[in-house]
Amino acid sequence: MAEQNDLIVDAPDLATKLTETTVIDVRWRLAGPPGRDDYAAGHLPGAVFLDLDADLCGPPGEGGRHPLPDPDDLQRVLRAAGVRAGHPVVVYDLGDGLPAARAWWTLRWAGHDEVRVLDGGFPAWVAAGLPVTTEVPTPAPGDITVRPGGMPVLDAAAAGRLAAEGVLVDVRAAPRYRGEVEPVDPVAGHIPGAVNLPTTDHLEADGRLRAADAIRSRFAEVGVDEGVRVGAYCGSGITAAHTVLALNLAGRTDAALYVGSWSEWITDPDRPVA
């Protein structure tokens, strides 16, 4: 299990601070069913459900399948969920860490610094024998002011440059990177110059993040050394957010996310495909 810090928290530690923390349930699956059904069946006490697609991302289009949200819309959603300035937030999912990492990244991008991911998600909470409820809370309105810019972001042009001048990591499974299969987007392949390092390489068998030293060593194998600029992309900026979380755990707080990712890259036929 990865060490405790300002990025992740384990279930027993969260349980001791539950009443002092805004907890957000972002359980989600790319192909469904909706995570709201999981939430209704049982969730952490006091947790508020947010829909990753509708609440934390903008509408799909030329910016990709999960573009950045409108700041005013995001602020409205977060305040309704009880998110307050200077008050800790913990996000959790089904255990793979992907939607939780994107929620973590989005809140950090919005200027909220005290956000952590529940390591192992809802399954880790249940495995620890901690309480689950079906009661839906009514949180007091939050006061967060969304200030975009809290996390490094790449647009398509910057991603292309980084692939040539630094290390741009494609975190999708190797067959998708190689263009052998493409189950989601209409074009197969990858951004020229990008290297492949699937986000699963940063996970233990139970879905928790590996230790920082192990993550750091794995990234070094693909050229992510000290002083080398690094960014990540995937299909639509969800899985890559998890890789940015892993990079932050390894000390690379400058790691950038190409939010539009492959689903945006391929909207312009003039962009090259490898």
- The residues that are catalytic are 234
Provide the pLDDT for residue 3: 43
**Which residue from 158, 146, 8 is spatially nearest to 85, judged by alpha carbons?**
146
What dihedral angle (degrees, nearest 10) is formed by the CA atoms of 167, 69, 23, 1? -10
Q: Which fold has domain 8-127?
A: Oxidized Rhodanese; domain 1 (3.40.250)
Provide the pLDDT for residue 2: 38
Domain(s) of CATH 3.40.250.10: residues in the chain: 8-127, 153-265
**Nearest-5° angle of CA 14, CA 28, CA 112?**
50
DSSP 23: E
Q: Show the beta-strand stretches assigned E in 103-148.
A: 115-118
Question: Residue 121: which H helix or E strand, with range?
Answer: helix 121-127
Q: Which fold has domain 153-265?
A: Oxidized Rhodanese; domain 1 (3.40.250)
Q: Which residues pair with 203 in a beta bridge?
A: 209
Regions of the chain where pLDDT drops below 70: 1-4
Provide the pLDDT for residue 181: 96
Q: Write the CB contacts of 111 (distance below 8 Å, at least 6 apart in sequence).
A: 144, 145, 146, 147, 148, 149, 150
